Structure 1
Amino acid sequence: MFANLLRAGVLALIGLAAGGSLAAPPVAGGEPVGFGLIVGYREGVNPLSREETDRGPWADRRARMASAWQRATQRSRERTQQLARDTGVRAASVGEAGRAALLRFDRPMKGQDLADAMRRVRLHPDVAWVEPNVLVQRQAVPNDAGYGNQWYLRGPADAIPEVAGLNLTPAWDLHTGLNSTVVAVVDSGVRLDHSDLAGKLLPGYDFVSELHVANDGDGRDANPSDPGDWVSPTERSNNPLFAACEVGFSSWHGTFIAGQIAAATDNGQGVAGVNWQAKILPVRVSGKCGALVSDLLDGVRWAAGLPVAGAPANPNPAKVINLSFSGGAACSAAYQDAVDDASGAGALLVVAAGNQSAPLTRPADCDGVMAVAAVRRDGAKADYSSFGSKVALTAPGGSLENFPNNLLYATSDSGFTNPGVETYGYKQGTSFSAPLAAGVASLMLARNPALTPRALMERMQAGARPHQQPLGPAGPVCSAVNTQVCHCTPDTCGAGLLDAHAAMQLAIGPAAVIQPVGTVVPGAVITLDGRSSVALGGATIASHQWSLDSGPAVVIPNGTQALTTLQLPSVEGRWVFRLTVTDSNGDDGSDAIVVRAVAPPPPPAAAGGGGGSFGGWWGLALMLWSASLIRANRRR
């Protein structure tokens, strides 16, 4: 009885204290529908943010990681169940969204109901941030049929020159790829029986958890095939969950991307893939109307070989992950954690810049991703492509001029709704610029498997060709005013036009390799170890240089040594340390690692009661509730 009265008093006070609402991010075409809340706990009390040492009798590192993650998720779920009870938010179940906690509603919410639930959870003293678990729509693209050639694979020096093409012809002379290179396509699933993908697909996984959007009759399972993601006018009109969705036929989005990266090549049929030998890991995260944030984040974790509760271990971790989705909000802590975790596991996350002709949104604006913008065949920024200072570089994305000859062409499906027969089709969008860059990154790994995610991105940027000015000297330059077709600059579209041949040449330079540090406590002494850095082609590493890319100021002693130690400030924070190595030929290579400092959790409360701590508004609520009882007794 007392606990129920206390909870009622606390929730009443929260409602008064909050004032304005914490609105969910807008979704084009209607109010956002929240299927739950993604919750970030304060670092000191978040079971998923701390790395543990597991001394159990496990066979290998992966088994230890899985065991530690299983225990952490169990504690996190218990905390989230208590959070739901404390705040009065009705939960159907709890789980994870990447490294954040997930509270699933017993019914979808929107409008004021969603805002109220977010406010209640955000004001809990254990919570650092909260965001709604909404659908993230795939990049909008036209679904035009026809046949054309793959002009974008050629380059300026080809017999039929292409000023904005990838310049793959000379790159393939250096290497056509290795079948040990794994590229994950985190997307809508893949048509598993397409003949141009035969022998290219590894066993993947379906992470679509919401049955309303899954369209395959079940939740998460080991079948990553694409059942179709069409949305009919009737569904949009009659189902509130689809009110913000675009009406359209099935996109076969993931099948197209898989073919761009690794379609069977030099086999006399179909299309050529960027990487002739690479394997595709299909990770299905989206269905009708898009992907839930929680499914997307879990899919990225699994693709990188990290544990996800309820899913089997991924035996084929990807070195490159393609993610052609964008949201309507800035990079959040949940997204950034997923990016950091994937990068720490050795995977480069290649993402589409977005098709909104606007500044970047998540995940393209997160630190550490490779955001790819789209250019037309003549090298101008495509009218739809988003842009900004965090774009890494550009790649062909297709456009409607001289239709359909300037679009991109790859594997597809003939079905308007359900799967039909295998076919090929045309598309445009930054969704299809990103996999071209992912394919080139996977080719580079065939020449130099030691390249890290950051090294891959930086070498691709270093080899990029200058942006073109096809609109003439007086043509519009991309800016906040000129957002449609315009001339790219390094400030708006990254380093330049992706050049596969230059990237492949740069792949064989020295590779800086840093041992991971992970998460430590504030004020910890850490070791920066670059002794595993390698030089290729008979060269040797001649010098090392450590530097600080970002984070609170810190002194790096012996910064020219391969191995050094330093003490972090006594504050929580996130640091990015960089190592640049130079080989005996004078060539440079660099890489960076992320180090987090997190305060240890507070000691457990002496009293029982299960769950969250009390403080701040919660303590004030208790006092006010007690005072109200005293006043009520006096009036009797």
Structure 2
Amino acid sequence: MKHRPLGMSLVALTTAVLLGTGTAVAVADPAATVGSPVKAAVPAATAGQPVERLIVGYTSQAAEAKSDSAATEDAKNKGGRTGESLDFDRRLGTGAVLVDLGAELGKKDAADVMAAFRADPDVAFVVPDKRMYATAVTPNDAEYNRQWDLFEATAGMNVPDAWGKATGAGVKVAVIDTGYVSHSDLTANVVAGYDFISDPFMANDGGGRDSNASDPGDWMLRGECGNNYPEYDTTSSWHGTHVAGTIAATTDNGKGIAGIAYNATVQPVRVLGKCGGTTADIMDAITWASGGYVPGVPSNPNPADVLNMSLGGSGACDAGTQSAINGAVNRGASVVVAAGNSNADAAGFNPANCSNVITVAASDREGNRASYSNYGSIVDITAPGGETAVSSANGIWSTLNSGTRSPASENYEAYQGTSMAAPHIAGLAALMYEANPSITPAQVESSIKSNARPLPGYCSGGCGAGLADAAATLGGSTQPPTGTVFTNSTNVNIPDNTTVASSIAVTGISGNAPASLKIGVDIKHTYRGDLKIEIVAPNGAAAVLKNTSTSDSADNVIATYTVDASGVVASGTWKLRVTDAYAGDTGYIDSWSLTF
């Protein structure tokens, strides 16, 4: 008998060890983390934040489109009509004008000023200069095992098999982010960038724009950025350095990690600092990084082939950002952006919802859409973004720094987020530009999507073309092996205060089971905290996959677990043992599987 619809799905990956002695080794209960919200770096109130500046684009025939003095006069006139103090701030690289409102304006006052500009037939567009924020999710801890995201069969991106075709040599990737903190596993591939943060407070380095793209740290004190953001004191993220390492960390140097495009160069372009970054600064960074002209900024000697933007904010794609992106694409650069970490439709997040970009969702180590990842019809592709809630081994390991505020010693840490997924695609794009220097941004996107493979796990809401496959995209080897799967779909009732078991007979697998045996579980049961779930090997060795929890009142267990079963023989009868430890709620084992 079917029970009420799924109240909250559990998608977790835990690790245990099956010991030859039969000793059960308990692992972290995945259900304990399901109800906890994932902290994204975008405040919920972004859409209602006060407005300090506007970005005004004039029609090509308007005097204000070419003359700063005319733009200054127009700002003052509009201010006079609306009772506000407006002034010309600067001209952006796209030709648009940044207008200073003199003070933070509330929603209504800002709308009145924007309406005055929109009523002018010489104005093509006017949008607020909004802040955007790094889209990484705060990691739990640092632990390095291996870069499963590059080569693991289940949900890796099949990168090593693409390296026979290209390694990114001669390709330039701009990382539009928090800047760069020196790291010996990356510095050989870093070229000089630029700091586009114009507000000295946000820059946090003692000044505004300059040619030094070093990351001084983006730590924040509780509430110092307005709208009660952040909600708690934060440490520096070194976000841009983590992103850059995924793209182009040096390889075959005897330490650290391998970058996807390890012979490419990365150019740090700093737009995110204390309290995030602004639309105007990001627009100029996009323009400059792709080889366009920005007033008052020296020309870029290393215009990028690929732009990575692991950043975003809520709202529709504004005309100013779209114009900067269009300019970059017209100059031949592919623009890769993170879909966002709000477990929501990416259509509500900028620049993920802009045109002419490759919007990237995040997958976990099992190939499911990561629980935090945005989704939807505007997502183009999915790439590994990791999930560190259960173990940092399931996150994306990359270059970082140990400093909590200012830079300290270099290190490595596991992060999770669409910020981590996007540089996987930027690195893949870099491989494509080396393999075919005449390739266009549209061809890059089309090839990545047409060579994707289906996600091995589940995706609700839309994950684009599937999981990116580097080897298939570069014409290397085909998709990685999927393994042999054994399934039992016979329902087994789980009465109150009872232990039941469901069996699978494994045949044809020689030797011991793998070190990463996958156990897929689908149990329909109200108040799943009643349940303890164990896997039992043919020799009687057992491991706890999920323990009971009096605080987990959600329904159903739909999960994939991983155990190290290398100490036991594969062939024989395996059992899924389920104990209902409390009265009042019942259910049944719907199905379960073993993947060798």
- Pairwise same-fold verdict (TM > 0.5): yes
Q: Which runs of structure 2 are paired with 1:90-105 in the superposition (5 Å)?
A: 90-99=85-94, 100-105=96-101
Q: Which runs of structure 2 are paired with 1:63-74 in the superposition (5 Å)?
A: none
Deviations 1:431-475 (A, max 9, x none): 1100010001101111111111111111111111122235xxxxx
> 1:328 — aligned with what?
314
Q: Which runs of structure 2 are paired with 1:132-531 in the superposition (5 Å)?
A: 132-155=128-151, 161-178=152-169, 180-191=170-181, 193-233=182-222, 236=223, 239=224, 241=226, 243-247=228-232, 248-360=234-346, 361-400=349-388, 402-469=390-457, 478-479=460-461, 492-505=462-475
- CA distance in 2: counterparts of 1:382 and 1:78, whole angstroms: 50
Contact 1:151/1:162 (<8 A) preserved: no
Q: CA deviation at 1:242?
A: 6.2
Deviations 1:504-543 (A, max 9, x none): 1289xxxxxxxxxxxxxxxxxxxxxxxxxxxxxxxxxxxx
- CA distance in 1: counterparts of 2:107 and 2:150, whole angstroms: 50
- CA distance in 1: counterparts of 2:63 and 2:451, whole angstroms: 41
Amino acid at match of 2:334: L
Q: In 2 relative to 1, CA 323–72 (structure 1 residues): closer, same or farther, beyond 3 Å?
A: farther
State the Cα RMSD in Å.
2.4
- CA distance in 1: counterparts of 2:241 and 2:137, whole angstroms: 14
Deviations 1:466-507 (A, max 9, x none): 22235xxxxxx513xxxxxxxxxxxx1111111111111289
| SS of structure 1 residue aligned to 2:312 | coil
Which has the larger share of helix? 1
Q: CA deviation at 1:405?
A: 1.2
Contact 1:29/1:245 (<8 A) preserved: no
| SS of structure 2 residue aligned to 1:302 | helix
Contact 2:175/2:240 (<8 A) preserved: yes
Q: In 2 relative to 1, CA 418–496 (structure 1 residues): closer, same or farther, beyond 3 Å?
A: same
Contact 1:76/1:101 (<8 A) preserved: yes
Residue from 115, 118, 129 that aligns with 2:125: 129
- CA distance in 2: counterparts of 1:109 and 1:256, whole angstroms: 36
- CA distance in 1: counterparts of 2:64 and 2:208, whole angstroms: 26
User: What TM-score do the two structures reach when normalised by structure 1?
Assistant: 0.64
- CA distance in 2: counterparts of 1:45 and 1:152, whole angstroms: 54
> 2:53 — aligned with what?
36
Q: In 2 relative to 1, CA 111–498 (structure 1 residues): closer, same or farther, beyond 3 Å?
A: same
- CA distance in 2: counterparts of 1:303 and 1:80, whole angstroms: 29
Q: CA deviation at 1:121?
A: 3.2
Amino acid at match of 1:225: S
Amino acid at match of 2:407: P
| SS of structure 1 residue aligned to 2:414 | strand
Q: In 2 relative to 1, CA 326–199 (structure 1 residues): closer, same or farther, beyond 3 Å?
A: same
Amino acid at match of 2:230: C
- CA distance in 1: counterparts of 2:69 and 2:310, whole angstroms: 31
Q: CA deviation at 1:131?
A: 2.0
Q: In 2 relative to 1, CA 419–339 (structure 1 residues): closer, same or farther, beyond 3 Å?
A: same
Q: CA deviation at 1:390?
A: 1.6
Amino acid at match of 1:139: T
Contact 1:250/1:415 (<8 A) preserved: yes
- CA distance in 1: counterparts of 2:191 and 2:225, whole angstroms: 36
- For structure 1, the 5+ residue unaligned runs are 1-25, 49-70, 156-160, 471-476, 480-491, 508-636
Contact 1:413/1:422 (<8 A) preserved: yes
| SS of structure 1 residue aligned to 2:411 | strand
Q: CA deviation at 1:88?
A: 4.7
- CA distance in 1: counterparts of 2:366 and 2:157, whole angstroms: 13
Contact 1:321/1:347 (<8 A) preserved: yes
Q: In 2 relative to 1, CA 124–87 (structure 1 residues): closer, same or farther, beyond 3 Å?
A: farther
Q: In 2 relative to 1, CA 153–379 (structure 1 residues): closer, same or farther, beyond 3 Å?
A: closer
